[in-house]
Structure 1
C-alpha cells in the first residue's frame, strides 16, 4: 500500500488497514526522534546562553569560543532534523462547505497585500484559519508579513474588505515593538485598567510574570526588554483570546520565557497567526505554514525548504 505525501511517501507490503497502522507507528517514531533532536538542540542553546553570560562577565575568550561551538552544533542538529508528518487541519476547510466556513475565525478572499504607497506585494488566495490552527507566515524581509498582520488587525477592528473576521474572534496581539504596552503607565495600572482584578491579584500575576515588586508601580519604560515582553505575554493570557496575532514574540524573551510561550500556545485550543525568525519556536508551535513566494501566499507542508533557502542565501 502506497501513501503519497509531498515530502515523504511511504510504501508498505501490507493490506490497507495493516499498512495504515504501520504508517501511524512510523510517524510516531519519526515524531519521537524529531522531538529528541529538538530537545538536544534546546539544551545546547541553554548551555550556550549560560556560558555566554559567564564569558561576558569574566571576559573569557575561551568561553566565547565554546559558546559559538555549542550554538553551531545546535544549528547543525536543527538543520538535519526532519519533522514528522502531520495531518493539517487545512484539509477539512478546503472543502466548500458552509459548516467549515462558519467555523473560520479569519477568511481570506484573495486579498491584495500592498505597501503603504499601493505597490502590490502579494495576493493571499482563498484561505481560512479555524480554531486550533497555528499558522506561521514565512517570507524574506520586506516580503509583506507585517503588512498582512496589519491587514488582519484592520479586519478584526471592523475594516471589512477581502479579509473577514468572525464576530466570535477575540484577538490577542503582541508585536515586535510591544506597542500594546503604554510605557508611561505602570504595569500595575495597565492591568487594573484592563481587567477586573484586585490589588493582590495584580501584584501576584505580575510577580509570576517576572516583574519585581519594586517595578510594578513605576512606568513600564523602566522595565528591561525581557520584562516588557513577559508583561505583554501576561496581558495576552489574561485577555483569553481565541486568536493570537504574534509578530516576532520571542525577540525580547529569555530561554525560559520562550519555552513558557511555546507551551502556552501549543497547549491552547486557540488559533494563531505568527511571524517569527526563531526556527525552534516556529517548529514548536506551527501546525500550518504559509509562504510568500512570487507575489502569492502559498501553503507549504513544512518550513524546512524555506529555512534551507534562507541559509543558502546567507552563505
Structure 2
C-alpha cells in the first residue's frame, strides 16, 4: 500500500538540487537515499516531512500520515533538557501526562542506559544525542520514518544495535535512510534511490547491488548516446550528398529527402541526452614524500592511560613500518583516541614515550577537525600553509569540492563534508610520509570515502587510523591492532572484532 507519492518533484536553491523526481513509498519499504554531500538529500527529507516547500511538482500523502523525521543536528533548545525530559516533551501534553510510560519502553528498546536518562543532552556524547533524537521521534509512533545520517557519531557497537532495532520495526512502517556508511545501507535497506539533479534512479536493491546496477545503466546510457550521435552524423553526411545531387539535377524529390534526413538527425541529437556525470564533490589526492627509515613509529610496551591516570592497556612491542596501514580496533572508551593523541604529541615533540623516525613528516587529523579554526577561511588556510599563490590555491580548493563562493567564507560555515575535504587537502599539501587519522571518514560522502581509500592504497601511504566504517577499514587496512582487555594485540583481520560487535558483544 502506498503511503506517499512524489510526482515531478524538484527543488532549486541557486541551482537545481534535483528535478522531476517521481517516487512511491509503500509499506515495508526500506529506502537508502544516496547522493554526494550538498546534493539535496536533507532537503528532500524535509520536503517529504512537510517541513519545507518544493520548487516544483507535488507530494501526495495518505490521509492522516504521521511522518517522523530524525535530522542530522540536535536542536540547540534540546541541549538544556535531560535525555528523558526531551523524549517526554515530544508527546502531546495530555498523552505525556497519562502515557509517560511510553518513554521508558522506547528508551529500553533502544538500549539507552538508565544512567543517561537524567543527564542533560549537552553533557552526553554525539552518539547518545543521536539516540535521544531517534527516541523522541519514535515515541510518537510515526507511520513513516525518515533518518538523516543516523550512524553519525555512533561507534560500531551502537551501529550494530541500530541495525538490529531497524530489523525489528513493524514492516508496515517504511523507512527512508540517508547514510554514507555502505555496510549499514546494505544491512538495513531493500531499495536504493540515487538522487541526481535530473534523472534520479531507483533500484529494488540494497546499496552495493544497486550501485553495480547503476554503473551498468550509466554505461548503457553512454553507449546509447554515442550510437545516437553517430547515427545523426551519418544522416547529415547522407543529406549533404543528396542535397548536392538534388541541386545539380533540379530534383525536388531529392531535396525533400534531404530535408527529411536532416530532420531525423535533428530529432536524434535533441533526444540524445548526455550520460549522467556526477558533479565532482572534489578529488582527494594524498602525497607521500618518502622516507628511508624502516620503522616509522616504535611502541616499547607503553602504558596508555585515561587523563586521570587509570591504566587502559599496554601496547607491548609494536612497530609501524613503511607501507603499513594499521587500523586500531577497540570498543568506545577502550583508549583508541588516547593512543592516537599520544603519538600526535610525540610527533610534535611533547611526549617522548613514543619513538619516531627522524625523517618522519607527519599529518594528523582528529575527529573534531580541530586543525581547522572556525574564523579562518579556506583560501587563507591554504595560502598560509603552503607555498602556492591565490590563483593556484583557488584551483586546488575547487578540486577539493570547495567552490569559489565558499572559499572566502568562514570555515565554521562549511558543511561537515566540506570541512572533511578541506582537512584532507591541507594534509596533502604538507606532503607527509605518515598519516595519523582519527575517524577520517566522518562527514565524507561515499564518493569521498572511496577516493580516500583509493589514494591511501595507491600511494602505499603509511598510516595509523581509527574508523567505525566497516567497509572503509576493511578496504584500507593491511594490519590490525585490537585493544582487547588490557593489551594491544595484532590480529590478521578485523572480522572477529566486527563479529563481536554485530552480535552486540563488547570487549571486556
Structure 2 partner of 1:36: none
TM-score normalised over the length of structure 1: 0.72
> Deviation of residue 160 (structure 1)?
4.9
Structure 2 partner of 1:49: 34
Map Cα deviations across residues 135-193 of structure 1 (whole Å, 9 max, x no partner): 00000000000000011011112245431111111111111100111111111110111
Q: Answer whether contact 1:52 1:67 (CA < 8 A) is retained.
A: no
Matches within 5 A, 1:40-189: 48-50=33-35, 54-59=44-49, 61=144, 65=174, 67=176, 74-75=186-187, 103-189=294-380
Q: Answer whether contact 2:32 2:177 (CA < 8 A) is retained.
A: no
* Structure 2 counterpart SS, 1:235: helix
> Deviation of residue 48 (structure 1)?
3.7
Unaligned runs of 5+ in 1: 1-44, 79-100
> Deviation of residue 114 (structure 1)?
0.3
Higher RCO (C-alpha 8 Å, min separation 6) = 1
Unaligned runs of 5+ in 2: 1-29, 50-60, 62-143, 148-173, 189-205, 208-291
Q: May I ask how many residue pairs the two structures share in their alignment? A: 249
Structure 1 partner of 2:8: none
Structure 2 partner of 1:297: 488
Is 1:194 the counterpart of 2:365 in the alignment? Answer: no
1:175 and 1:144 map into 2 onto residues whose CA distance is 14
CA RMSD of aligned residues (A): 2.9
Q: Answer whether contact 1:174 1:245 (CA < 8 A) is retained.
A: yes
2:385 and 2:460 map into 1 onto residues whose CA distance is 23
Q: Answer whether contact 1:176 1:248 (CA < 8 A) is retained.
A: yes
Larger Rg, first or second structure (1 or 2): 2
Query: After TM superposition, where is structure 1 displaced by more than 3 Å over at least 4 residues in a row?
Result: 45-48, 50-57, 59-73, 159-162
2:175 and 2:462 map into 1 onto residues whose CA distance is 39
Cα 1:223–1:68 change in 2 (3 A) is closer
TM-score normalised over the length of structure 2: 0.46
Name the one with the larger helix percent. 1
Q: Answer whether contact 1:52 1:63 (CA < 8 A) is retained.
A: no
Cα 1:156–1:56 change in 2 (3 A) is same
Q: Answer whether contact 2:32 2:185 (CA < 8 A) is retained.
A: no
Match of 1:232 among 423, 427, 435: 423
1:122 and 1:73 map into 2 onto residues whose CA distance is 34
